[in-house]
Structure 1
């Protein structure tokens, strides 16, 4: 290794070559960071896409940011990014969607039963086959005699442990097979506004509760009919829309990494993802791009600690690694090394996270 280090890789003298190398190194660092993300965070789901479609978009966006969408990458399938969500939202709904990455996906089951909070905008006088504004109108009834006091007076009937029937499955547009009513929990229903025929509610409920069914039932209780115009989830478990849900312009690797760290403190100890302790000693510098040789260890000992971790780079000087000089890459667990000037640009983008 010492002899190999003595052969300094030729400097990247051309400006264009230097720019390419810098970009490649930056992409590699981002890819490495992406593949180390693990935990739970919240994102702000916009209207239209389903929860599953949104996760696909997020995955594509993150992989594109890290340069992991090239044909070579897809062909090699070096790594996959595991992402899931903690509770389906209607495609027309927006708001807090809890997302798990890697080991965080194992925590999502517990999120299904956590309380949720919604702002629901309903409209009296019309019923639809989907119970919301995306469906076809199936019935129309008068609402002109309904007052704010009438609405407030019946809300208590929909609080506590109540029985509720499923509506239509919006993701497929198919009617759900008739099922017995289920026991669900509503912690609170607060009246916010009434501008006939529209009304607004603030609802906090347990898992498995359908806001569309609630609005539909309210319409029936008022001897009319109703459907959901808009629906916003403002909270799920400890995650709130204002404080924790990342908007679309912050769906980046760095922002998600920061959010994962912030959100970890919100989860119960038994659910919170704990980062494993580093196997490296304190006198060794470890980053996403390289490992600096320790001055207090023999080189053969340093190599031994890297066995079984192909893809890591070794460099005697962190400053040199940023220009891809004097860097050696561990190709396999047999400790075979190759210098960076022997790698293609594509391979160079992979070596840091193989």
Structure 2
């Protein structure tokens, strides 16, 4: 009898949590640790939250948020190029880097600031015939590089230089790939480079330090509080405010990953 009562209680609590979750609407930021992909993190979040991660009309605002300004802290490694342009890939080339000075690096960074042209990585979420380029690459299919496209770098600075490693602070617009930036910097220095670590520190009005929800806080109540905080930031942006009132509620998942 005790087990039966416990089971009914658990079912009631689950239904209550689900009802509360479905009543929420908006956007909130989630912390993605190094290692798992964005899709992995979202799957974990869905399991935690009764398989629902899209929060109503907030999903309609994702394209605006993702297209906005974003900041990264990137650690690059000189002297090695990989097929994915980061540390997860296979080394495809090695070149000397001892001749590169801090001054050389700072000088080169000026060439990658402002409105520039950039070729996206082959291993990316961009698609060909409805399939991600990264998925096609993993299947062993031949993939041609996408043509260079215009992107914007609002600011780019060198934070640390301890060869072969260098740390960059980058603020850029939508469609920008830090992996391509680091690779291009290596080539500009007559060497090569790949990304060792990459952390997004800001997306639109959301910052990693103030707004990103860590896994130990993936509860209904914590998410409700995060939604309230994050949506208050969006209310001051006219385009997003208009979007909030125009679109109907919908639950979905949105992520971009290689």
Q: TM-score, normalised by structure 1?
A: 0.60
Judge which range, 165-174 or 25-34, deviates more: 165-174
Give CA-to-partner distance per residue, 1:279-310, whole Å, 9 cap, x none: xxxxxxxxxxxxxxxxxxxxxxxxxxxxxxxx
1:203 shift after superposition: 0.3
For the Cα contact (< 8 Å) 2:66–2:204, is it kept in 1?
no
Which residue does 2:255 correspond to in 1?
A: none
The answer to whether structure 1 residue 271 and structure 2 residue 240 are counterparts is yes
Larger radius of gyration between Structure 1 and Structure 2:
1
What is the match of residue 81 of structure 2? 127
Q: Is the 8 A contact 1:39 1:102 kept in 2?
A: yes
In 2, Cα distance between the equivalents of 1:61 and 1:46? 17
Displacement of 1:35 in angstroms is 1.5
Structure 1 contact 159–188 (Cα < 8 Å) conserved: yes
Matched, 1:59 2:26: no
Assess if the C-alpha contact under 8 Å between 1:42 and 1:246 holds in 2.
yes
Structure 1 unaligned segments of length 5 or more: list them.
1-13, 65-80, 84-100, 275-354
Answer yes or no: is the 8 Å Cα contact 1:117–1:234 preserved in 2: yes
Please name the residue that 1:243 is paired with: 210
For residue 12 of structure 2, what is the aligned residue in structure 1? 25
Aligned positions of 1:113-192 closer than 5 A: 113-170=67-124, 171-172=134-135, 174=137, 176-192=143-159
**Which runs of 5 or more residues in structure 2 are unaligned?**
125-133, 246-258
The Cα shift of 1:24 comes to 3.9
1:64-75 alignment to 2 at 5 Å? none
Higher relative contact order (CA 8 A, sep 6+): 2
CA distance in 1, matches of 2:167, 2:35: 21
Quote the Cα distance in structure 2 between the aligned partners of 1:15 and 1:218.
66
Alignment equivalent of 2:176, drawn from 209, 212, 221: 209
Assess if the C-alpha contact under 8 Å between 2:122 and 2:145 holds in 1.
no
Question: In 2, are the aligned partners of 1:169 and 1:176 still within 8 Å (CA)?
Answer: no
Deviations 1:109-163 (A, max 9, x none): 1112101100000011111111111111111111111111111111111000000
Q: Residues 172 and 48 from structure 1, CA distance in 2 versus in 1: closer, same or farther, beyond 3 angstroms? A: farther
Q: Which has the higher helix share?
A: 2
Give 1:176 deviation, angstroms. Answer: 4.6
Q: How far has the Cα of 1:58 moved from its partner?
A: 1.1
- 1:254 equivalenced with 2:221 (yes/no): yes
Do the aligned partners of 1:122 and 1:227 also contact (CA within 8 Å) in 2?
A: yes
Aligned length: 228
Task: Decide whether the 8 Å contact of 1:160 with 1:185 is kept in 2.
Answer: yes
Shift of 1:61: 1.3
Q: Among residues 11, 34, 39, which one is paired with 1:47 in the alignment?
A: 34
44-53 or 142-151, larger mean C-alpha shift: 44-53
CA 1:176 to 1:119, structure 2 compared with 1: closer, same or farther past 3 Å?
farther
Cα distance, 1:240 vs structure 2:
0.3
Shift in CA distance, 202/217, structure 1 to aligned 2, threshold 3 Å: same
